[in-house]
Structure 1
Amino acid sequence: MDHMKKDWGDELQWIQKGIHQVDGYITTISNHYLQHRLQNDEYEDRIFDELDICWAIMNGRIVEGYDIGERNGNKDPERILIGPSLKEPWIVLAVVLRLDRHFIIKTVFPVDRERYQRYLENDERP
């Protein structure tokens, strides 16, 4: 949950650089999210589009970090970010860290779970 916490500041900057494709960094949104979760009636809370995601990354923070295999057999390290979006005060983003400077937004949902609300300051809580 705190995997490589000392590097989270740098990792967030790299993810942000990836939004702008600067210095060889690339941040993309998974096709799975875009094609199967976003605006799907079976996933009513998956309403966050590219603009929401970019805004959250540029104004958010990493709150959890997982090493390879720590979360459901993940093949790559993962970071959990929370940040503001244009549709909700705060959203959660699961980001996969690839070794080739490529970051993939795996999924996005509102901060409506108590697990993530604990990372918000009192004045940030919904």
Structure 2
Amino acid sequence: CGLLGIILQWAPIVLAAVTACITLANVILSSYSKAANLDGQELLHINTANRLWKIREQYLSLLTDFDDLSDDQIVKLRDELTGQTAEIYAVAPLTSSKAYQLAQEALKNNEEQFFSQEELNKMLPEHLRTILIK
């Protein structure tokens, strides 16, 4: 109960810090967009990317907390994140056919979607990383 108590005690502080970072990012992007005169479509894409980044961070936090959560809690949190992701994609702006073709070529020819084991490890919290044997 001690470790769980500490985690629950710090959860609001961590959530407040993450929220502050996201707010700051939005302020910076808003300032940049006014200075750069970005069109509305670009701003919608930036906003969608920011919202998806937050979901990604929540998934990483969930992975970090696996040892402290019950299976039911993990499933519930995962389902909530899946729902939030679906809501974001439901209102996300569509891409142009040119951008789609460029992305398709990058994925097909440049293998931009593929990550090495080392790159994947760097994305995870340290205690979840695997030891690389070379």
Give the TM bin, normalised by the shorter chain: under 0.3
* The structure with more helix, counted as a fraction of residues: 2
Higher radius of gyration, 1 or 2? 2
Structure 2 length-normalised TM: 0.23
* The structure with more strand, counted as a fraction of residues: 1
Structure 1 length-normalised TM: 0.24
